[in-house]
Structure 1
């Protein structure tokens, strides 16, 4: 309880203090920002006006030099006709206007007074193009001077003035104790500065930044903006010192610019004082607000803590509460409502206890005797609904118990009959399973025989195919023999023709030998031998022809027989292929039959298991029916103890 009270108090204080801190912070930050912004804008305006003033002074000084140069040029034009002493006039003019020297140049850059040449002078080269030019510092023996070269017609006037002219201008525009005004040319070189040594050395922040970016980097960035002809205001650092500066370009120069600077600490110290004052004021305000908030939090959280303690006791079951907080505000109303809530809870709990006691005693006609406000009325409705549902449930249980008692006997008889039939089915299934096992084994053997027959038929088909190949080769050989016999027959005929011609020639030779007489006698003998040889050749040819004809006839018959044999072997091969296909189909069907028989065997095993399960279930059902009958009798006994209506009151008392 103390923890909760402290939590509320802490939360209230933290929230309020957070709001106060935020408000003080916003006010302080706003004050600091406004002070800083006002100071910045004031500095910006002041420095810009100062830098513009310096720029205008230098521009005005150059305009005065332009007037002087024009007057010198006009005098020179007039003096050229009079042939006066121009050197004396220039010396007098230099003294009059505070100049170091005045010179007049011709258009080619040569002095008409002393013959000096300015052809290498950058300022003259710019003025030669028709624009007045201001030179960079001319350092001689520790002194610095500048040349202002002004073109006028065909002559050019050179005005050399001392460093003191710019020095007086930048000293007159010094801002504060730490203010510095300096000028740079278009390359960033110092043209005029409070520190004269920087002008003598030609110091350049842009070049120094390349060697030491940390010391001169920000200054170099500012001076690049000056070189570009920009005007503005900026905070920057030089060698770790924080400075502020406003820069403005100088008109009628070749890119010169002036920068008015000062130390940031000198002009921004007021902002620091303002920040410290605002911080101190904020701390004092927060302390005072915290004390006031602590007092208010105690007045608010103390009675709330008492109410929270009472609610905690109420949640713990302690309904004997009576808070006495004399307040007429919302907290007093909370305490009053807590007291009323405790009393109402006490009445409701008492009524619930009485109602439940009646129910536990067996009186299901009990009713609530208390008013239940608001959502609590649902409890009363639920209690009465519970009693009503219990009455209906008990009546149904009683009726169901009677029905269960009657039905349990029927279940027991059915279970006995089911067990008897299941035993008969189990025996029949075992016989069927034994027969199916024999059929299955015979089917497996048939499948193996068919597989072997398929192998034999396949091998026979291969042998028939080999016989067809051999018969085809035999047919080709018979055709070659027939062709050869025909060729031999032709050769035999040719031999007979040769023998016939030889015989004729032998006869002619014998006739001629007879005509020759004794001289041809030897030749006649030869002719007789030739005729005898021809006759023998003819006889041999006739015999050979006969043999060849017999061979041709035999070959023809063999060829015919080989063709018939090949045709028969082809028919046998075709029928063997068909037989192989039929046996393969028989083999597939046999395997399918084996699988089907195996499935049937598995199904019979499943059916046998189901029948065994049914027998076991029948036995269990028989035992359960006995147990159910006993439970129904016990249930009827228990239900008789409850009074669910007026008639049951007497019945219950009688049974008890």
Structure 2
């Protein structure tokens, strides 16, 4: 709260008034200066737009008058009979030229033939006019022509030419006279509209023919290059009369242009706006100084006036802070300022007194209520929203009295009911205890049965697994026995084949022996030639005898093996039959074990469901036991609280409706 007041104190009303006043004055000053500046610029442009064209026109007329004067002089010389007479002597013509040149102060004066070559004239006359712009214009127009400014040595000259015709209208020659550039310079120097204003004479090509700076004329500088834009040059050489503005080097310049009649020249006058804004700028600066002075005076007056308002409001603010802190007794200081602050302080004083009376009456009533006395009511005259507080508090007193009377009546009934509930709760608790004990015994028995069933189920499952393994082993043994029988049969068949082979070997041995015997007989018949063959036959016979013995021995062994194989086949068949019998018995035992396992599983599942149900019943019974205990305790507490409520409600002094 204190920090909030400190923030408010930093934003004092005097500072705000001073800030707002200064801000308003500054805004007005800025608007005033901007409007004055724009007005001055607009006024200057308006004045120059009115004055500059007429001044340009006047200067153009002066130039036209001077050029006409020059033209008239040429006409006057050209009308001389000595010049126009084609039969006149050259001395007479030259005399006329010399007299005119000395009297009118020509730079030079001469006659030129149709080809532009000098016909008569002094040494100052150029030998030919072919390089001058004047000559083709004379040939084209056959009339008076004013040439562009031409530099002859160090002198700038203005040449004027006139064709001279004979009485039959044929061209005799051209009369050309040159004047000094000062004729134009004097007219341009007389144009003094401003300190930085400039006057230009330009030809149709935009070349500068006249300017106070003669270097521009000597170099025949292009106007577009000089002013930095070709827009102005295009406007000037358009042949129109007018005025325009353009921005040049952060300044606005006005240019007035007009054609010079009788020539292909144009006069343009350029004037910077800043040359005419000096008095206006002084007025603007004076306005700024005056505004600053007014701001200073207004600030001093505003501070004094705001301080008076601040002091008046400070007393009101301090009293409001005391009121916010609960102070209703400190008197309010009334400001005698004869304005809104006096009305504000007086209204605050009345408000504090009224609130003090209201709070005193309400405090008295609330004090009685806090002591248990509800047989009271708010008296006195209340205004505004405090009337609602008065009526609301009286309504609260009536409502509380009625409620407390209902509480007294209800507490008696609750006390009686609590006694009955307490007795019933004790009986329920006793029954729940007995039920819980019985369920605990039943639960323990069920657990024991479930453990036995689980053990039987495990043993049955193990027996089933063992029978499965035995059945698998018997199936494997039966398969092996069948394979053994098949192998014995294959051996028996192979023995029979060996016997056949052995018989064949015996026959081969007998035949070999027979052949050996025949060979011996034939060898003996052969005499000496058959001795070697006899030896071979003898060896063959012995080999045949050995083969016969071996075959007989092999036959005996084979016969013994056949008898043993036949006995093995018989025994193997008997063993296979025994395995079939064992396998059948094992399958039956496996089926019996599976059925037993399924029966045990069903019993185990049923017993598990029974255990769950018993557990749920046990939980319900335990909750009932706990609830009965809590009900017993709560009923006892309710009985005690009902007694306490009866005692408390009896202490209030209530308003009884008459």
Class of the TM-score when normalised by the shorter of the 2 chains: 0.5 to 0.7
User: Which residue of the partner structure matches residue 235 of structure 2?
Assistant: 229
Asked whether the equivalents of residues 138 and 161 of structure 2 are also in contact (C-alpha less than 8 Å), the reply is: no
1:364 Cα deviation after fit: 0.4
1:198 Cα deviation after fit: 3.8
User: Which residue of the partner structure matches residue 211 of structure 2?
Assistant: 193
1:373 Cα deviation after fit: 0.8
Matches within 5 A, 1:221-260: 222-229=228-235, 231-234=243-246, 236-237=248-249, 245-249=253-257, 251=259, 258-260=268-270
Asked whether the equivalents of residues 62 and 187 of structure 2 are also in contact (C-alpha less than 8 Å), the reply is: yes
Which sections of structure 2, spanning at least 5 residues, go unmatched? 120-125, 165-169, 237-242, 473-593
User: Which residue of the partner structure matches residue 654 of structure 2?
Assistant: 644
Asked whether the equivalents of residues 319 and 345 of structure 1 are also in contact (C-alpha less than 8 Å), the reply is: no
Query: 1:287–1:116: structure 2 CA closer, same or farther, 3 Å change rule?
Result: closer
1:274 Cα deviation after fit: 0.8
Asked whether the equivalents of residues 117 and 127 of structure 2 are also in contact (C-alpha less than 8 Å), the reply is: yes
1:639 Cα deviation after fit: 1.2
1:351 Cα deviation after fit: 1.5
User: Which residue of the partner structure matches residue 153 of structure 2?
Assistant: 140
1:136 Cα deviation after fit: 6.6
Question: Which residue among 624, 633, 647 is the counterpart of 2:643?
Answer: 633
Q: Which string of whole-angstrom CA distances, capped at 9 and with x for unpartnered residues, describes residues 484-527 of structure 1?
A: xxxxxxxxxxxxxxxxxxxxxxxxxxxxxxxxxxxxxxxxxxxx
Matches within 5 A, 1:160-199: 161-183=179-201, 190-199=208-217
Q: Which string of whole-angstrom CA distances, capped at 9 and with x for unpartnered residues, describes residues 54-86 of structure 1?
A: 45555676777788899999999x969879869
Query: 1:243–1:270: structure 2 CA closer, same or farther, 3 Å change rule?
Result: same
Q: Following the alignment from structure 1 to structure 2, what is the Cα–Cα distance between the partners of residues 133 and 441? A: 143
Question: What count of residue pairs does the alignment treat as equivalent?
Answer: 597
1:11 Cα deviation after fit: 3.7
Matches within 5 A, 1:22-37: 22-37=27-42
Q: Which string of whole-angstrom CA distances, capped at 9 and with x for unpartnered residues, describes residues 408-449 of structure 1?
A: 334434443444454455456656766877898899999999
SS of alignment partner, residue 229 of structure 1:
helix
SS of alignment partner, residue 251 of structure 1:
strand
Q: Following the alignment from structure 1 to structure 2, what is the Cα–Cα distance between the partners of residues 98 and 26? A: 62
Asked whether the equivalents of residues 104 and 111 of structure 1 are also in contact (C-alpha less than 8 Å), the reply is: yes
Question: Which residue among 280, 283, 308 is the counterpart of 2:292?
Answer: 283
1:380 Cα deviation after fit: 0.9
Q: Following the alignment from structure 1 to structure 2, what is the Cα–Cα distance between the partners of residues 263 and 233? A: 9
Q: Following the alignment from structure 1 to structure 2, what is the Cα–Cα distance between the partners of residues 287 and 454? A: 116
Query: 1:320–1:89: structure 2 CA closer, same or farther, 3 Å change rule?
Result: same
Matches within 5 A, 1:317-332: 317-318=328-329, 320-321=331-332, 323=334, 325=336, 327=338, 330-332=340-342
Q: Following the alignment from structure 1 to structure 2, what is the Cα–Cα distance between the partners of residues 294 and 364? A: 59
Q: Which string of whole-angstrom CA distances, capped at 9 and with x for unpartnered residues, describes residues 584-612 of structure 1?
A: xx99xx89x97996998499479638835
Question: Which residue among 278, 283, 300 is the counterpart of 1:269?
Answer: 278
1:374 Cα deviation after fit: 1.1
User: Which residue of the partner structure matches residue 354 of structure 1?
Assistant: 364
Asked whether the equivalents of residues 104 and 158 of structure 1 are also in contact (C-alpha less than 8 Å), the reply is: yes
Asked whether the equivalents of residues 329 and 356 of structure 2 are also in contact (C-alpha less than 8 Å), the reply is: no
Query: 1:66–1:352: structure 2 CA closer, same or farther, 3 Å change rule?
Result: same
Query: 1:381–1:150: structure 2 CA closer, same or farther, 3 Å change rule?
Result: farther
Asked whether the equivalents of residues 108 and 178 of structure 2 are also in contact (C-alpha less than 8 Å), the reply is: yes
Stretch of structure 1 that moved more, 445-454 or 364-373: 445-454
Please tell me whether residue 41 in structure 1 is matched to residue 46 in structure 2.
yes
TM-score (norm 2): 0.59
Query: 1:233–1:320: structure 2 CA closer, same or farther, 3 Å change rule?
Result: closer
Q: Following the alignment from structure 2 to structure 1, what is the Cα–Cα distance between the partners of residues 380 and 352? A: 15
1:640 Cα deviation after fit: 1.0
SS of alignment partner, residue 268 of structure 2:
strand
Q: Which string of whole-angstrom CA distances, capped at 9 and with x for unpartnered residues, describes residues 369-420 of structure 1?
A: 2111111112211221221222123223323333332333344344434444
Q: Following the alignment from structure 1 to structure 2, what is the Cα–Cα distance between the partners of residues 439 and 100? A: 156
Please tell me whether residue 387 in structure 1 is matched to residue 397 in structure 2.
yes
Asked whether the equivalents of residues 335 and 342 of structure 2 are also in contact (C-alpha less than 8 Å), the reply is: no
User: Which residue of the partner structure matches residue 619 of structure 2?
Assistant: 608
TM-score (norm 1): 0.59
Q: Following the alignment from structure 1 to structure 2, what is the Cα–Cα distance between the partners of residues 641 and 224? A: 112
Q: Following the alignment from structure 1 to structure 2, what is the Cα–Cα distance between the partners of residues 599 and 206? A: 117
Asked whether the equivalents of residues 247 and 253 of structure 2 are also in contact (C-alpha less than 8 Å), the reply is: yes
